[in-house]
Amino acid sequence: MRTQFEASTPDQHNKAEHKRQAHFQRWFATFASLAHSRLPLPEYLQKVTDTLREVAGVGSAVVEWIEGEELVYRAASGAAAVHIGVRLPTSGSLSGLCITRQQPLICRNSATDHRVDRAACEAVGAVSMVVAPVIYEGRSVAVLKLISGEVDHFGQSDISILDAFCACIAETIAREQIGQENRALLKENASVAAHLSVESSLRIEFEKKLADAMRRRQTVLDNAHVAFVSMDEAGMVVDWNEAATLLFGWKQQDVAGRELASFVVPERLRDAHRAGLTRYLATGEARMINQRVELPALRRDGSEFAAELTISEVWYEGQRQFACFVHDITDRRTATEANERLRLLIDSVSDYAICMLDQNGHVRSWNEGAHAIYGFAAHEAIGRHVALFYTSDEHGRDRPGDDLARAAQSGRVEHEDWHVRKDGSEFWAHVILSALPNPDGGAQSFVRITRDMTARRRLEELEASSRRMNEFLALLGHELRNPLAPIRNAVSILKLTSSDDADVIRSRQIVDRQLAHLTKLVDDLLDAGRVSSGKIRLATGIVDIADVVHLSVEASQPLCDERGQRIDVLDGGQPLFVNGDSTRLVQALNNLLNNASKFSPPDSTITLEVGPRGGSVLVRVSDQGRGISSDALGMVFDLFVQEHPPGAHLDEGGLGIGLTLVRAIAELHGGHVEAKSGGAGQGSAFSLWLPLAEAPARGAPADAAPSAAATRALDVLVVDDNRDSADSMTLLVDMLGHRARAVYDGAGALDSFEASRPQVVLLDLSMPGMTGFDVIRRMRDDRKRVIVAAMTGLGSDEDMARTRAAGFDAHLVKPVDLPELERVLALAGRV
């Protein structure tokens, strides 16, 4: 290769020019022969590579065909001929870059050129090369490549040669494609010609038959009772029979040869009619072969009616016509719309099973509600007898047939009883079976409407069961209080009796504790009944939480002392007030403290935390006890529910009522209670949330509580039909320093009252014959001032309100505690 500093002699220049001219002459001759060749494309491409290699004087010439993301050696000459069919990726190669840029490129040395695929170059022996794209219809379809085993073998003249050959290849591709298209067209034309020949023969035969049919048609139409009209392609009336005259009011001579739409189509629809006819004639869309159309039609008098048109395209005497049979479907449309509305209404009803029955009781229709209630799909129920839904007991009595007979006779049967679903389960059904009137006098059909009333029935049963349970609990509580009363009186007597005998003292304490426990169980049992029936009432006022905490701790302290437990109260010293019932709040907090003590080990600490949280007061009782499992946390507040079965733990007694009362009391105060525990052995925390209230206005200090001791001896009359209760109460009053006597019925109470005029009467309410309410009414008629205290096993808010309204001065709930008795006696001592 010469450098720019080398000089050539004139003789050398002439020889080079002569050689170049000879080279181009040979190239042009070869190119001309290729341009006029008519070889198929594969042979042509091979001829191009052979010729190009010879003309260019190089080692190889290659045509690389583009297929997707790959290049395929479609034709090759020289050393590359053995690689025909090889596939190479377009990316990472000089050919791929040539395709992307759509311009020729030269590689002078493949060992140093980063644009080439060196492995591919080594495989075909390419040291230098030149590539050019074959462009057809604006896109690259192939790459023409010259390969040399020498460095820097190619120049600008080689690019010119490649461009010319690429143009030649593109022209050959175009010629090949046009040839293929022409061959396909010739083949298709031959097929079409054959089909046209057959079609023409068939059409001739068809036209003959059509002519005969049209003659017969005209005869039929002239005598038909159905309105028939036809029009030509311009929409003009061709045929109009007598039935059309009766339907529309126009005679044939009025409409013949005139536009059909102007006579039978309402004005607002005429433009659409004309546009549709024009569109059909232009495109042939929706070819009309016995097509049924429903639309409004117009009479001569201007009235409209619902019409059904059966439209057909026909050919008559070489002309296309459109024939229409017209029916007035006003009555049918009205009935159909009514039936559809009824069907939609029935299907949309999901709470009722609605089905139609024939005269024999077989199902004829089945709505979605019937599917939902009975479980049978429509295809499973339709055709089967209505007895399918009755229980086996009713089959034996032929209840299905009896219901059908009664409905046919009286018109309607309504009843409630058990019915059977598809899966065999039963439900409580409310059924109405009605006979449908038959104007033809034939056999009657029936409509059967069923509703699932199982939930209502179960609710009624549940309410009745709950009512009976509440009544039972109230009766049980009252009956338990009666025997507790003399026991409590006896314990109080023992307390007032001085005795130094340790065994006597211990025995009295045992009886006292167990009696207190039994009394609490009875109270909880009665409260459970009040909770379930919603009869708990509150005597609300502004309550200081500190007082509630103090009274609750004081009430729970004996139980904690017995177990060596300590109650640690954490409060900020901040006054906190709620609007509520102090007694009920103490009851709720006392239950939480007792629970904590009951389920905590001896010598443990119970923490009572009190403080404000936003607009609420938080009272939290935490213990170090047995804890609650995560499964039981959600049900600890349910009535009569305990985490473990009875007897599983020695410390788990009671009825499962206490926490239910806590929740009820919290909710009655507008608050709530929640339980948390880390699990077994992790202790528990119960949080009582109550809405904060404004602090009460400061006023005069309250009067000091009256002294429990009476200042003088009193005459006391004890009235109770339970002799043990009356006698033990009499003995207890005597031991308090008063004079008491007992009577055991209402009549005796009135006689004794008239004879001795006592200052205090302790009067039982539930006595046979004359009740306590009857007795106090007679005593109050005497006008003499006397303290009368009701002494009863009934202790609800309603009971106390009733005794207060009857004129009682106090209400003592059996068993009567000694302090309560002393309070009543002290009240009489001040009168």
pLDDT score recorded for residue 622: 92
CA distance 731 to 720: 14
pLDDT score recorded for residue 710: 44
pLDDT score recorded for residue 4: 38
What DSSP state is assigned to residue 58? -
Asked if pLDDT for residue 562 goes beyond 50, the answer is yes
Query: Confidence class of residue 706 from pLDDT cuts 50, 70 and 90?
Result: very low
CA distance 174 to 345: 69
CA distance 463 to 746: 37
Query: Confidence class of residue 27 from pLDDT cuts 50, 70 and 90?
Result: low
Asked if pLDDT for residue 620 goes beyond 90, the answer is yes
**Residue 738 main-chain phi, psi, to 5 deg:** -115, 175
pLDDT, average across residues 463-485: 66
Q: Judge if 349-452 and 715-829 fold alike in CATH terms.
A: no
Which of 102-116, 154-168, 378-392 is predicted with the least confidence, judged by mean pLDDT? Answer: 154-168
- 3-class DSSP assignment, residue 320: strand
- Residue among 657, 685, 656 at smallest CA distance from 673: 685
Q: 92 is written with which tokens?
A: 């990472």
- Residue among 487, 606, 619, 506 at smallest CA distance from 556: 606
Comparison of pLDDT for 637 and 589, the residue scoring more = 589
- Residue among 122, 49, 110 at smallest CA distance from 84: 49
pLDDT tens profile 335-350: 766 666 666 666 656 6
pLDDT score recorded for residue 663: 86
- Long-range CB pairs of 365-374 (<8 Å, 24+ gap) are 370/450, 373/421, 373/427, 373/450, 373/451, 373/452, 374/419, 374/421, 374/422, 374/450
pLDDT tens profile 223-263: 667 888 888 888 898 888 888 888 898 998 888 888 888 88
Portion of the chain with pLDDT greater than 90, in percent: 5
Asked if pLDDT for residue 200 goes beyond 70, the answer is yes
pLDDT score recorded for residue 717: 92
pLDDT, average across residues 708-735: 81
Asked if pLDDT for residue 28 goes beyond 70, the answer is no
Distance of CA 719 to the CA centre of its chain: 65
CA distance 764 to 774: 11
- Residue among 528, 611, 531, 538 at smallest CA distance from 574: 611
Taking 3-state DSSP, the helix, strand and coil percentages for the chain, each rounded to the nearest 5, stand at 45, 25, 30
Protein fold of 224-333: Beta-Lactamase (3.30.450)
pLDDT score recorded for residue 517: 61
pLDDT, average across residues 4-23: 53
CA distance 689 to 672: 5
CA distance 274 to 269: 9
Which of 207-221, 274-288, 695-709 is predicted with the least confidence, judged by mean pLDDT? Answer: 695-709
pLDDT, average across residues 440-453: 78
The CATH class given to the 541-691 domain equals alpha beta
pLDDT score recorded for residue 707: 45
- Listed by start position, the domains of the chain span 10-181, 224-333, 349-452, 541-691, 715-829
Which of 329-343, 528-542, 814-828 is predicted with the least confidence, judged by mean pLDDT? Answer: 528-542
Residue 294, beta-bridge partner list: 308
pLDDT score recorded for residue 708: 43
Q: Which of 192-196, 480-484, 499-503, 570-574 has the highest mean pLDDT?
A: 570-574
- Residue among 782, 781, 801, 572 at smallest CA distance from 790: 801
pLDDT score recorded for residue 645: 52
Query: Confidence class of residue 93 from pLDDT cuts 50, 70 and 90?
Result: confident
pLDDT score recorded for residue 362: 92
pLDDT score recorded for residue 607: 92
Asked if pLDDT for residue 182 goes beyond 80, the answer is no
CA distance 413 to 405: 10
Angle at 51 between CA 46 and CA 56, to 5 degrees: 130
Protein fold of 715-829: Rossmann fold (3.40.50)
Query: Confidence class of residue 30 from pLDDT cuts 50, 70 and 90?
Result: low
pLDDT, average across residues 6-32: 56
Spatial contact of 112 and 122, defined as CB atoms under 8 Å apart: no
Angle at 727 between CA 724 and CA 730, to 5 degrees: 145
CA distance 297 to 643: 80
Q: What is the DSSP annotation of 249-315?
A: S--HHHHTTSBSHHHHS-HHHHHHHHHHHHHHHHH--S--SSEEEEEEEE-TTS-EEEEEEEEEEEE
Spatial contact of 226 and 218, defined as CB atoms under 8 Å apart: no
CA distance 782 to 776: 10
- Residue among 667, 717, 658, 714 at smallest CA distance from 688: 667
Which of 173-182, 251-260, 597-606, 791-800 is predicted with the least confidence, judged by mean pLDDT? Answer: 173-182
Find all residues with CB under 8 Å of 557, minimum gap 6, and list them.
567
Portion of the chain with pLDDT greater than 70, in percent: 76
pLDDT score recorded for residue 49: 83
Strand intervals (E) in 68-127: 70-78, 87-89, 105-107
Find all residues with CB under 8 Å of 719, minimum gap 6, and list them.
726, 742, 743, 744, 745, 746, 748, 749, 761, 762, 763, 764, 767, 772, 775
CA distance 531 to 541: 21
Asked if pLDDT for residue 3 goes beyond 50, the answer is no
- 3-class DSSP assignment, residue 155: coil
- 3-class DSSP assignment, residue 94: helix
What DSSP state is assigned to residue 436? E
Please identify which residue in the block is written with the tokens 């001219």: 21
CA distance 357 to 448: 7
Q: At what angle do helices 545-562 and 582-598 cross, to 10 degrees?
A: 30
Which of 92-106, 115-129, 170-184, 261-275 is predicted with the least confidence, judged by mean pLDDT? Answer: 170-184
Peptide bond into 815 cis (omega under 30): yes
User: In this structure, which amino acid lies at residue 461?
Assistant: E
Protein fold of 10-181: Beta-Lactamase (3.30.450)
Q: Which of 277-281, 536-540, 787-791 has the highest mean pLDDT?
A: 787-791
Strand intervals (E) in 614-728: 616-622, 672-677, 684-691, 715-719
* Continuous segment of H or E residues that includes residue 657: none
pLDDT tens profile 31-43: 556 655 667 778 8
Query: Confidence class of residue 709 from pLDDT cuts 50, 70 and 90?
Result: very low
Architecture of domain 349-452 in this structure: 2-Layer Sandwich (3.30)
CA distance 59 to 63: 14
pLDDT, average across residues 694-704: 59
**Residue 400 main-chain phi, psi, to 5 deg:** -55, -50
| Average confidence score pLDDT of the chain | 79
pLDDT, average across residues 472-490: 67
What DSSP state is assigned to residue 708? S
Find all residues with CB under 8 Å of 285, minimum gap 6, and list them.
279
Query: Confidence class of residue 10 from pLDDT cuts 50, 70 and 90?
Result: low
pLDDT score recorded for residue 701: 46
- Long-range CB pairs of 781-784 (<8 Å, 24+ gap) are 782/753, 784/757
